[in-house]
Structure 1
Amino acid sequence: MAELADETSNIKIQELQPKLIEHFEKLITTNKLAHAYLFSGPEGIGKVELAQWIAMRLFCTANEDQKPCGVCGECQRILSGNHPDIVSVKPEGQSIKVDQIRFLKSEFSKSGVEGSQKIFIIEKAESMTASAANSLLKFLEEPVGNVKAFLLTENKNQILPTIQSRCQLVNFVALSQEKLIQNLLNQDILKDQAQLLVHVTESTSHAVALAQDENFTEMTNQVWNWFSRLLKNDAESFILVQTKLVPFAKEKQQQVLMVDLMVLLARDCLLVRYDRKEQVSFSNRLTEIGKVTQMISDKKLIAILDGCLQIKAMLQINMTFQSAIEVTTLKLIDL
């Protein structure tokens, strides 16, 4: 929790998830808070901050207007990750190990150091190994004492059904593109970049990481180079697949991202054609897109969009990435 612990967290979560704040305020006020919750949603949507807010609401010594003050000693220790009765676990490397859950379980059995309650937060719960997840089940089945557990996940489908069934599921609504763009602008990301990034991820932190990734910047340039030549029926677009695209898409995640960029470019061409320029994702390429689309029929633009979408289908049947792009490139050049 320490990485997100700052004095603005209390304000930030009320802006990100006001309805959930209201919901949990009612649960706490009526003493109906469940012993275990599964928070599900993309990274950067406020899962950690909400868990912090609940902890502060329960421990705050001021609680003005039934809301945590964020400035008392209890709140400050929670925000800094130094409260003895708030225990947080996150992946060590790629996964949460069984030894980490055993430590957590040993803490479950202890009474609060400074009070009668304890709170446990498991970040990226989907990364628990099978043995770690199974080890956690006993507590979820038979909670001991005044303990509340919050499991945070980006993909609830990767959580064991037996764990899901023992938690109250809370689905976090993704930020609107307008809010996500504003978040990125607040972190000094250029508007053109932000408008593209919100179309490839719903996560603020992931978007920031991509904005700072030189490989991503070069990938977008190379995809445009390939795409613009494809629109002109330039046979060199076929050569660019192996020489310029494949080197930036060695991993599955990079391949999916690159195909998403291709689809967005094809979509942008249609948006420009139908005078909906304010919705384009590649706003920095708006002038260039406008020029090339003037020379292409609606039929070809639609065929290019369909071809880019078909690349995803090819990858799902285990065609190699290079082959899928090359087949599509040859097909579209011949139009």
Structure 2
Amino acid sequence: MEMMWNELAKSQEKVVRIITNSIQKQRLSHAYLFEGAKGTGKKKIAIQLAKTFFCENQQGADPCETCPDCKRIASGNHPDIHIIHPDGQSIKIEQIRHLKKEFSYRGMESTKKFYIIEDAQKMTSSAANGLLKFLEEPDGLSTAVLTTSEVQKILSTILSRTQILSFVPLTPLQLIEQLEKSGVSKPISRLLGQLTNDIEEAYQLYHEDWIAQARSIMIQLVEEVCTRPHQVMLTLQESWFAHFKEKNQLNLGLDLLLLWYRDVLRTLLANEDQLIFVDQIDILERHALKSSQRTVGHHMASILEAKRRLGANVNPQLLMEQLMLRLQEG
């Protein structure tokens, strides 16, 4: 998909402004460090920068997207772009040596070279020191982009030789807009926008269908808490624990419950325009009729306490059974 700088600026305005100003003044740095949380678009902007770096038909700061260089970069097979990922748990000295060797050859298509080192905090100390010399003595027309979500783990000597650009986390609204543009339904987009600010994690939860199933199970559970309390423990055993298997999944399940009761409270207060579960208004209104602000507040406090206890390694089954009993107290 073609991506222009102004589109990328919607989520990373400051970073894009700095880069496009440098492009227009023909003052690109020989090395950048993109730092920020996962899912903030660091690689996407690195690839866009590579396109602009190689494109022969730039339109302002934007690459043309149609020349051979742009097309080869988009398809991931440009011979003068090298991307290094961690090999297992780390980036090893052999990978940096191989990169240096590649750079010792003249560019295949031109004199330009571009390399991206993802998760640069995972470089071993020998790999990091090997890269240092390379950063100090760039060979010809080359640009490096290092990306990291843990800038504190990067050698200070590397930090001092790169231009550091900080990526801000996506707001829930930005994440929801991106998800809806790519075809995710409004109810699921709104939910994911509350659960994560990492677009990659959001897509993963969506594509694996995990989130849609999680949502259905949670709605079934709160319906039973409200109208069929004798069914609650059976649903916990047969559906909830079968789906929320890992601790992090159970934590997301508690987040879903919290968001549900927040929507019940918004329904009570007639703030329906802020609802997350926009397609469940009938059930929310029924639950609101049976509740008061005080009881919903108690329910939300109980869920927050369950999240705290989950973090303290309390038995998940016991934790959920006790929480369900509290939610049934009304």
Please confirm whether the aligned pair reaches a TM-score higher than 0.5, indicating the same fold.
Answer: yes
Q: Structure 1 residue 47: deviation in Å?
A: 1.9
1:261 maps to which of 256, 259, 262: 256
Q: Deviations over 1:3-35 (max 9, x none)?
A: xxx434667435543442221122342626152
Task: Provide the rounded CA distance (Å) in 1 between the counterparts of 2:324 and 2:99.
Answer: 53
Q: For 2:194, what is the secondary structure of its paired residue?
A: coil
Aligned residue pairs, count: 323
Aligned to 2:81: 86
Q: Structure 1 residue 266: deviation in Å?
A: 1.5
Aligned to 2:240: 245
Aligned pair 1:40/2:36, yes or no?
yes
Report the TM-score, using the length of structure 2 for normalisation.
Answer: 0.83
Give unmatched runs, 5+ long, in structure 1: 1-5
Task: Provide the rounded CA distance (Å) in 1 between the counterparts of 2:117 and 2:218.
Answer: 38
Task: Provide the rounded CA distance (Å) in 2 between the counterparts of 1:113 and 1:208.
Answer: 36
Aligned to 1:140: 132
Instruction: Call closer, same or farther: CA 1:32–1:91 in 2, change over 3 Å.
Output: closer
1:300 maps to which of 282, 291, 295: 295
The 5 Å alignment of 1:84-163 reads: 84-90=79-85, 95=89, 97-98=91-92, 99-125=94-120, 128=122, 131=124, 134-140=126-132, 143=135, 144-146=137-139, 147-153=142-148, 155-156=149-150, 160-162=153-155
Task: Provide the rounded CA distance (Å) in 1 between the counterparts of 2:279 and 2:73.
Answer: 42
Give unmatched runs, 5+ long, in structure 2: none
Report the TM-score, using the length of structure 1 for normalisation.
Answer: 0.82
Aligned to 1:3: none
Q: Give % identity.
A: 24
Q: Deviations over 1:147-185 (max 9, x none)?
A: 4322234x326x724277455432323334344333323
Task: Provide the rounded CA distance (Å) in 1 between the counterparts of 2:70 and 2:210.
Answer: 40
Q: For 1:64, what is the secondary structure of its paired residue?
A: coil
Q: Structure 1 residue 295: deviation in Å?
A: 1.0
Q: Structure 1 residue 290: deviation in Å?
A: 0.9
Task: Provide the rounded CA distance (Å) in 2 between the counterparts of 1:230 and 1:298.
Answer: 17
Q: For 1:283, what is the secondary structure of its paired residue?
A: coil
Instruction: Call closer, same or farther: CA 1:161–1:324 in 2, change over 3 Å.
Output: farther
The 5 Å alignment of 1:1-335 reads: 6-8=1-3, 12-28=7-23, 29=25, 31=27, 33-43=29-39, 45-90=40-85, 95=89, 97-98=91-92, 99-125=94-120, 128=122, 131=124, 134-140=126-132, 143=135, 144-146=137-139, 147-153=142-148, 155-156=149-150, 160-162=153-155, 165-166=159-160, 167-231=162-226, 234-334=229-329
Q: Deviations over 1:230-272 (max 9, x none)?
A: 3458254244333321111222332222121111111111111
Contact in 1 for aligned 2:120/2:154 (Cα 8 Å) = no
Q: For 1:257, what is the secondary structure of its paired residue?
A: helix
Task: Provide the rounded CA distance (Å) in 1 between the counterparts of 2:86 and 2:154.
Answer: 20
Contact in 2 for aligned 1:41/1:171 (Cα 8 Å) = no
Contact in 2 for aligned 1:39/1:150 (Cα 8 Å) = no
Q: Is 15-24 or 288-297 further displaced after alignment?
A: 15-24
Contact in 2 for aligned 1:85/1:113 (Cα 8 Å) = yes
Instruction: Call closer, same or farther: CA 1:108–1:136 in 2, change over 3 Å.
Output: farther
